[in-house]
Structure 1
């Protein structure tokens, strides 16, 4: 499976997982000049900026390990942009999550949610 297709399907599986767990999806693939955030979702008073990493396995490390310091900084800057655009600065509790999505045989998905995976 091509990586772009795998990533897109993984993001869809992640969004469905979040919705099944009570999150409301506010935005998907939010892009600005400084970067992109895969999913922005709200659960209660928490606004979660979610990075989705999809893999076939953990042969080369876990998906979350791919969210290195540089990637975290881009996500944080993009989140600040989102908050400014939506006039939400200092108006909500924000969190940075990672969703590890594993593609399994038979077009099935295993999702591991890491709430608060990193901080700004």
Structure 2
């Protein structure tokens, strides 16, 4: 339960960070039978499918390292569902897969590291 709370807080921090960077949030926690995407955001002609990983530190590797091949495959499949549902095609918009690492620091502070184009399909 504690990890779920940390994850939700991290996602909110990531949303606020992306908005400050000029992204519009299209969807949060987009779920279909094959998987979930934490944030779908648009900036200009780029549609970013964003996986958020929140951690207290790097004891078990960086948060981005947790987005392994299996997780990437599920995100890509889920992105394809989103594009079909919204009648978009990969030809008409530039799609990118990002990871946002959120670190929970002492005293309620946060550090955010955005990795645009963290992986490809």
- The alignment partner of 1:106 has SS state of helix
Give 1:33 shift.
0.2
Query: SS where residue 27 of structure 1 aligns?
Result: strand
Instruction: Count residues with an aligned counterpart.
Output: 120
Separation in structure 1 between the aligned mates of residue 6 and residue 92 of structure 2, nearest angstrom: 35
Q: TM-score, normalised by structure 2?
A: 0.98
Residue 33 of structure 2 corresponds to 33
Q: Secondary structure at the match of 1:103?
A: strand
SS of equivalent to 1:5: helix
For 1:1-20, list aligned pairs within 5 A: 2-20=2-20
Q: Secondary structure at the match of 1:114?
A: strand
Using the size of structure 1 for normalisation, the TM-score is 0.98
**C-alpha distance in 1, partners of 2:13/2:67?**
19
Structure 2: state its 5+ residue gaps.
none
- Corresponding residue for 2:86? 86
- Aligned-pair CA distance for 1:108: 1.2
Deviates more, 1:75-84 or 1:105-114: 105-114
Gaps of 5+ in 1: none
Which 4+ stretches in 1 moved above 2 angstroms? Answer: none
**Structure 1 residue 96 and structure 2 residue 97: aligned?**
yes
Q: Find the aligned partners of 1:15 and 1:109 in 2 and give their Cα distance.
A: 13
User: Hey, what's the Cα distance between the residues in 2 that align with 1:87 and 1:107?
Assistant: 41
